[in-house]
Amino acid sequence: MLIKRNSNGIDLPFASEITPRHVFESRRDFIRKLAVGSIAGGALLEMASREAFAASSTAQKLVAQPNPAYVVLDKQTSYKDATTYNNFYEFGTDKESPARYASAMKARPWTVSIEGEIKKPMTLDIDSLLKLAPLEERVYRLRCVEGWSMVIPWIGYSLSELIKKVEPNSNAKYVEFVTLADKEAMHGLNRAVLDWPYVEGLRIDEANHPLALLTLGMYGEVLPNQNGAPVRIVTPWKYGFKSAKSIVKIRFVKDQPRTAWNLAAPREYGFYSNVNPQVDHPRWSQASERRIGEDGLFTKKRPTLMFNGYSQVASLYTGMDLKKFF
């Protein structure tokens, strides 16, 4: 297959060369059905027209270099599970709502304003973000505080690349991420579950840790809306809620940011929220987790690992009591 790339790393295939993943998968499924002889002439016709329709899909591919230093070997979560079982409360609080409603959000055009204690405040659009550093594919575990986890091939680059560019001054002790709060597109904002907009934050040294990923895509494509299009953070050693979706503002600040979940329930969700099997949530154990896609009556839960298995971050917390700073 011939692929033309523009300078953003987005490939520009000719229309006839596009094979969106769902077409590819349905084709594979079709071949399988054909093999077991369960498909009739009528269904064949239906398949053909479905393909013609799907060929005009706009799911934009992203070319990224796999970075073997950041690839967990666990089996990857299926694209379907990763895009239909989500937490994105702006679109409703149940797991299916983001996939159902997030298409109302317009992920382009989009700008991210970078402000606060930095020498070079700037507003970047998505094309500039895509060009800021070489795109890498990294397969990370993501562990939700609710007790489930996924393994996702993300696309992006270390957040430190962006931080370097804006030149923080010595007052920049924390980084705050402010996400989209658009009442028109996000019906979840009508309910005061959280104090909107959803805000998250990291200490500056956490934000500068190479694992912290400024994320623009997953599974070889731009981020689906329900996963936080067009730009989110992924901090895999922390519970999933620290990985703020659909970011519109990044602020460098002196004081620890007041983050959405910490504000809503300070005794349950700390600022740090490092994955820690030894510190239980007040209402449930954090010692083990359910891997999405592995559920079955007899499937064993997996033990949760300290820092979600990312022991390279441990030195960020030397001397800190992680029961107190949970």
Ligand X SMILES: Nc1nc2c(c(=O)[nH]1)N[C@H]1C(S)=C(S)[C@@H](COP(=O)(O)O)O[C@H]1N2
- Element (DSSP H or E) covering residue 156: strand 148-158
Q: How far is residue 48's CA from residue 255's CA, in Å, rounded to a whole number? A: 58
Cis peptide before 197 (omega within 30 of 0): yes
Hey, how many other C-beta atoms are within 10 angstroms of the C-beta on 226?
25
Task: State how beta strands 148-158 and 232-234 pair.
Answer: unpaired
Residue 104: partners with Cβ closer than 8 Å, 6 or more residues away: 184, 185, 186
Hey, how many other C-beta atoms are within 10 angstroms of the C-beta on 286?
18
Assess 240 for contact with ligand X (CB under 6 A). yes
184 known ligand binder: no
> Of these, 101, 157, 198, 237, which contacts ligand X (CB under 6 A)?
198
Shortest Cβ distance from residue 254 to ligand X (Å)? 24
Assess 244 for contact with ligand X (CB under 6 A). yes
Question: Which class for 217: exposed (0-12), middle (13-18), buried (19 or more C-beta within 10 A)?
Answer: buried
Assess 85 for contact with Mo ion (CB under 5 A). no
Q: How far is residue 234's CA from residue 211's CA, in Å, rounded to a whole number? A: 8
Shortest Cβ distance from residue 89 to ligand X (Å)? 4
59 known ligand binder: no
123 known ligand binder: no
Assess 197 for contact with Mo ion (CB under 5 A). no
299 known ligand binder: no
Assess 313 for contact with ligand X (CB under 6 A). no
Assess 270 for contact with Mo ion (CB under 5 A). no
- Sole window of 99-107, 116-124, 201-209, 237-245 interacting with ligand X (rule: CB under 6 A): 237-245
Per-residue binding string, ligand X, 58-97, x by CB under 6 A, is ----------------------------xxxxx-------
- C-alpha 222, offset from chain centre: 11
Sheet containing 199-203: give its strands across: 122-125, 111-116, 247-253, 174-179, 199-203
Assess 245 for contact with ligand X (CB under 6 A). yes
Residue 326: partners with Cβ closer than 8 Å, 6 or more residues away: 270, 272, 273, 274, 276, 279
Assess 144 for contact with ligand X (CB under 6 A). yes
Q: How far is residue 200's CA from residue 250's CA, in Å, rounded to a whole number? A: 10
Shortest Cβ distance from residue 63 to ligand X (Å)? 21
Binding at 110: pick from ligand X, Mo ion, none (beta carbon under 5-8 Å per type): none
Tokens at residue 323, please?
């029961």
Hey, how many other C-beta atoms are within 10 angstroms of the C-beta on 169?
10
Assess 225 for contact with ligand X (CB under 6 A). no
> Of these, 246, 259, 262, 274, which contacts ligand X (CB under 6 A)?
246
- C-alpha 138, offset from chain centre: 12
Q: How far is residue 255's CA from residue 215's CA, in Å, rounded to a whole number? A: 25
Assess 243 for contact with ligand X (CB under 6 A). yes
Assess 189 for contact with ligand X (CB under 6 A). no
Assess 227 for contact with ligand X (CB under 6 A). yes
Contact 254, 171 (CB under 8 A): yes
Assess 196 for contact with ligand X (CB under 6 A). no
Assess 273 for contact with ligand X (CB under 6 A). no
Name the β-bridge partners of 77.
none
Assess 87 for contact with Mo ion (CB under 5 A). yes
Nearer Cβ to Mo ion (11/200): 200
Binding at 101: pick from ligand X, Mo ion, none (beta carbon under 5-8 Å per type): none
Q: Residues within the annotated binding site for Mo-molybdopterin?
A: 86, 89-90, 144, 179, 227, 232, 243-245
Query: Binding residues for ligand X, per CB under 6 A?
Result: 86-90, 142, 144, 150, 179, 198, 227-228, 240-241, 243-246
Binding residues: 86, 89-90, 144, 179, 227, 232, 243-245
